[in-house]
């Protein structure tokens, strides 16, 4: 059970291939087993639209509006723990999510080595998606460095040698879930 009475969102932050989405799924499983109401959001699904609206080149405005609407809808079912996976690379990113969702954003950064990340990304993309794989593989290290320099996370968890279930447990333990 959560020890903190203030409403906040747990944000799984990190570069590509570090395990954010699969950890999100395991957090959902653990919260369900504990009888803790929750809602999960993978940021990627809230901005997947092409072409982006002008001047919203990254679809960030649409993303925030979509997430705010879905979160409002989830809350009609009662209080719940919001858990999000995505990327927060700046205070502007964090503030955009906090404003849209009207909750404090508390980030945990997941990290993985380039070799582990490449293996995970290869498993995600088919041979026909070579360009997408290559873009994510080459961008991983730059984004990892940007996130480390931004230093917006409460804790950092290396996922190289941990199962997704163990990572999920560590995240929930940090936030007071036993």
The CATH number of residue 112's host domain is 3.40.50.300
Say what the pTM is.
Answer: 0.92
**Distance between CA 82 and CA 51 in Å, rounded?**
29
Residue 11 CB neighbour total at 10 angstroms: 30
**CA dist list (Å): 132 to 85, 88, 129, 139, 149:** 20, 21, 5, 11, 25
pLDDT of 110-147, one tens digit each?
999 999 999 999 999 999 999 999 989 889 999 999 99
**105 within some domain:** yes
Residue 117 CB neighbour total at 10 angstroms: 24
Of all residues in the chain, what percent carry a pLDDT higher than 90? 79
pLDDT of 52-68, one tens digit each?
777 766 788 889 999 99
**2 within some domain:** no
Only one residue has tokens 């858990």, namely 83
Is a pLDDT exceeding 50 seen at residue 3? no
Residues 6+ apart with CB under 8 A from 28: 38, 40, 83
Is a pLDDT exceeding 50 seen at residue 2? no
Number of domains in the chain: 1
Domain extent for 56: 8-174
């Amino acid at each position: 059970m959560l020890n903190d009475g203030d409403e906040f969102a747990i944000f799984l932050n990190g570069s590509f291939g570090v395990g954010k989405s699969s950890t999100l799924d395991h957090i959902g499983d653990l919260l369900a087993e504990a009888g803790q109401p929750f809602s999960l959001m993978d940021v990627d699904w809230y901005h997947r639209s092409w072409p982006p609206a002008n001047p919203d080149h990254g679809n960030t405005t649409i993303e925030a509006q979509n997430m705010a609407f879905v979160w409002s809808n989830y809350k009609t079912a009662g209080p719940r723990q919001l858990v999000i996976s995505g990327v927060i690379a700046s205070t502007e990113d964090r503030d955009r999510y906090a404003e849209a969702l009207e909750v404090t954003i508390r980030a945990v950064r997941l990290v993985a080595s380039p070799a582990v990340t490449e293996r995970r990304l290869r498993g995600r993309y088919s041979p026909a998606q070579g360009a997408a794989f290559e873009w994510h593989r080459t961008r991983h290290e730059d984004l990892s460095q940007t996130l480390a320099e931004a230093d917006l996370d409460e804790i950092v968890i290396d996922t190289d040698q941990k199962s997704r279930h163990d990572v999920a447990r560590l995240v929930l333990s940090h936030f007071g879930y036993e």
